[in-house]
Amino acid sequence: MSIASEVFGEWKPELVQVTPPGSDRPVKLRYPTYGEWHKLAVAHQQLAGKAPDAGLIIDTIAACIADDAGKRKLSSDKARGLLDASPRSVMWLYKQCWETVLKSDDETVAELEKNSAAGQE
């Protein structure tokens, strides 16, 4: 048993399903682990207002795309294949990652706490 399981209990990954514009195939997004999220958050903070490079965008998407079981679907190397995709689709998916499964602000935390409390009633 991992320390995370000991502290928080078994983590059951939630999935967010999105369908990129111009696509007929939905994509499942997973909530990454804290370690994955923190690495991405720090890399983005270090940009200091500059645009992220393609590698960081792809790594961000790779951390979020999930299989049906909620596990990470793409390694960073495999995700490099997204460099050949439509810019519109890649950037839309990148934005969706940050607006859903990577979002971590006070409002999001409050909403998660509210949902958790409602589920315990």
Distance CA 55, CA 58 (A): 5
Point out which residues pair with 15 in neighbouring strands: 30
- pLDDT value at position 7? 76
Using 70 as the pLDDT threshold, list the residues of the chain that sit under it.
1, 4-5, 8, 11, 13, 105-121
Distance CA 2, CA 10 (A): 10
- pLDDT value at position 112? 45
- pLDDT value at position 77? 92
- pLDDT value at position 11? 65
Distance CA 57, CA 42 (A): 13
Contacts of 32 (CB under 8 A, 6+ apart): 40, 63, 64, 72, 101, 102
Q: First CA to last CA across the chain, in angstroms? A: 28
Residue 70: left (phi > 0), alpha (psi -120 to 50), or beta? left
Judge contact between 111 and 118, C-beta under 8 A.
Answer: no
Distance CA 10, CA 61 (A): 25
Distance CA 104, CA 42 (A): 13
CATH of domain 14-120: 3.30.2220
